[in-house]
Structure formats: C-alpha cells, structure tokens
Structure 1
C-alpha cells in the first residue's frame, strides 16, 4: 500500500515526514512535492486545479501498481479529491481510501472573500489568521517577498477550484476537522459523504485550521486503522 500525502497552501511535502515512524512497514509514505516548493522551488508554480491534476495524474500513474490511498490537507484535500475523480473518470484504478482534512465539502460555497487577489499587506494579514505560517516568514519582508508568489498561487488554486460535476467515487472517505476552525467549520465537512457511494467517517479535534499539529498521533492512528494496520 502507498499513502500519497498532499500539502496545504504554502506547505510542503516535508510536513508529513514524521509520519514515517507512525505507519506500519507495509505502508509506503509518498510525499507529494508540488512545483515551486522545497526542492522544486525554481519551477513555475501551478495555480489552477485542472493543470495541477493533469500534472499529478501523469506523475502518479507509474506508482499505481500497488493499492494506494490519498491524504490531503486543506488545499491538498481539494487536489486529492479532484485527482481521484480524474483517475477514475479516465478508467484508471482509483485510491482505496480518501482522507481529507480541513476542507469544506464540494457542495458548500466558500463563505469568506478570496485572498489571492489582495494587496500584499492585506494578503499576509489574512494568511497570518490561519496560524500555520512561521513567524520568521510573517515578520521578515525578504522571506515574504520570496514566498508570496507560490503562496498566492496556492490560494488561487484553492479558491477557484470548481467541484461541480465531478463523478461520485466508490472508495471510503474519512474527513478531519478542528472544532474552532472557521474555514471550514465542522458542519461543512458533512457533505463529503455525498462524494462517494462508499463508507464515510468524520473526526473533529480540538483546535483551529491546523489542529493536526496537536493531534498527529490521533489522525495517523485513524489512517492506519482505516488502511487495515
């Protein structure tokens, strides 16, 4: 079994490295590094869901020789859902399980105003409210200048992704959220049940958008149990 992990907006694949010690030996952790991040920092970023999914579908195809699952956090959740639907619609073998965290269901419209078109100072003020950006970046103009373009691209992708008309999956979907998160609030996770004919489970933990930082053991425990570990 392979577990592909997709990062949140502004995040990188390295966020999931600690999971290696929490997964059983028969589950291979595959860290998905998107263009313009970490070791791919010099590559052009992708700011639309269709282009991102097309690139990822080609990259993942050779690794679909084993059963696999997706875990996506926030932006990563919408990417992994669209990617699963793209693979299934194209006649491929889809994931055996879809794990989605901190992302409203496709039937819910975004309540807040989009951030990706804001002026720089307003953009960073709104990003800071999510609580996942290191202080070293928020307080350093050079770092903000360096990371603003890829982060803005992530928000554009996430905020403009349209999920209407996607095929319904058959794999189980498990969702995770924080009880004080405002985007999404816990009730906005429920609609993910409509995205599959398979089983559905929902887990809500104490915390905001980045509840996973304090609940990594619990979240990975759910993932391992769901994968039969």
Structure 2
C-alpha cells in the first residue's frame, strides 16, 4: 500500500483504476467518506486532501489555480500508476479540469473520464459577486447565502476565525481562475447539477460539452448546490456505471 499527504486514504496495489475526488470550497476528503463503501473493490476511491484542512490543517492554503495544479500534479504522480479518473465538486471540478488539461499539455497520461459537479461550463462567466476580497463579516454573510455551512460555524466567532483563511483561499482560487484558454480534452466528460441550484443553473452545465472531443453526458439530480448530500447515492451509481469498462 502507498500513502502520501495528498490522499485521504490508502490506495491498494490490485486496483483496476483509481477515482481521484476533489472537494468543494471549504471541504475536504471527508466529503467523500460515504462513497468509500459504495464502489467495487477493483476501484480505488481516492479523496484528494488539499492543504489547509483536515489532517493538513497546518499547511499553507493555495489560492491560485496554477500553483494548485502544479502542487497536486506532483503530489499525485506516485499514485497515477494505473488508469484513473477525476471527480470534482464545485471548486473541485475547476481543479480537476485544469489538472486534466495540464496533464494532457505536458504529455502525461490523463484521466480516462472527467466528472464535474456543481460547476458551470468553463466558458461561462460567474454571476455572483466575488467574496474573497470582502471584509470578514461580509465574507461570512456571502458564505451563509451559499448554504451548506453548518450554523455552529457561522454563529461562532472562534470557528469562523479558524476556518476563514483556507475558505477565503478557496474562494480566491475559484473566483480568479481563467478557464477560457484551456485545450479540449480527449476523454469523456460527465457533468452533474442540482435541479434547484441557482449557481450553476442546470443549463449552464451544457457548456462542458465544448471542453472535450470525446463523449459528453449530463445529469440533473434533486437538490440545490450541495446535491451531493441529497443525491449522493444516485451520483455514485452513475459514476460507477460510467467507469465500467
């Protein structure tokens, strides 16, 4: 078995393929814990552990997409030793897409499939005002408007102070990244959205079809921006079905 700081669990030597899962802003490897028992034994589910959260809480958060891609690429290289796929949720979809493009551009083996969830297509501009540059109070009000953050964090000044640096870094990375000049991927892309999510709207997922020369599929599931919590089982099943080769 192999272990490094970039992965949230151990990987196995006999896996047919690995599914690297990238978290939403403020999230971590634990976001994918329910999936660990839902995938067959020949697929290694590998939650990606980003700096500034969970077991890497003391590490400096990364707030720039280019720096993140370079760091993640180097960190995951030792466990990209067999076919793999990427799944990214919201900010994680942004990172997974840029990383897949980076691997392709540098001549490295890329993912066999890219799954993106709760993220508009790369050529569609965001329609929410940026948060990362706001004062602390205004920043947290914006976070509250997104939904999904526990009240015990929103209502506790010490918790907010503890989590603000990494969360602000995540929003800066997400809000300042430019995806318009990326090359088209060769692998299939499957996009997921929440039926009640205002950002992205379900129709904004369609633009992902233009990010690949391969196949494209789209699934709209019940729930809002964090439909992972409402429809996680269905989401996992669709991903499994797509990885059966």
Query: Could you say which TM-score interval applies, normalised by the shorter chain?
Result: over 0.9
SS at match of 1:150: helix
Counterpart pick for 1:16 among 5, 17, 32 = 32
Mapping for residues 23-42 of structure 1, pairs under 5 Å = 23-42=39-58
Give, in angstroms, the shift of residue 65 of structure 1.
Answer: 1.1
Write the distance in 1 (CA, Å) between the matches of 2:235 and 2:47: 17
Mapping for residues 42-81 of structure 1, pairs under 5 Å = 42-81=58-97
| TM-score, length basis structure 2 | 0.92
The answer (yes or no) to whether the contact 2:195–2:222 under 8 Å persists in 1 is: yes
Structure 1 runs of 4+ off > 2 angstroms?
none
SS at match of 1:215: helix
Number of aligned residues: 229
Partner of 1:190 in structure 2?
206
Counterpart pick for 1:99 among 104, 107, 115 = 115
Write the distance in 2 (CA, Å) between the matches of 1:105 and 1:23: 27
Give, in angstroms, the shift of residue 189 of structure 1.
Answer: 0.6
Stretches of structure 1 lacking an aligned partner (at least 5 in a row): none
| TM-score, length basis structure 1 | 0.98
Partner of 2:11 in structure 1?
none
Give, in angstroms, the shift of residue 59 of structure 1.
Answer: 1.0
The one of the two structures with greater contact order (alpha-carbon pairs below 8 A, sep at least 6) is: 1
SS at match of 2:185: coil
Deviates more, 1:216-225 or 1:179-188: 179-188
Give, in angstroms, the shift of residue 180 of structure 1.
Answer: 1.4
Stretches of structure 2 lacking an aligned partner (at least 5 in a row): 1-16
Write the distance in 1 (CA, Å) between the matches of 2:198 and 2:186: 29
CA displacement 1:169-192 (0-9 Å, x = unmatched) = 011100110111111111111000
Partner of 1:177 in structure 2?
193
Give, in angstroms, the shift of residue 123 of structure 1.
Answer: 1.0
Partner of 2:106 in structure 1?
90
Counterpart pick for 1:110 among 126, 134, 137 = 126
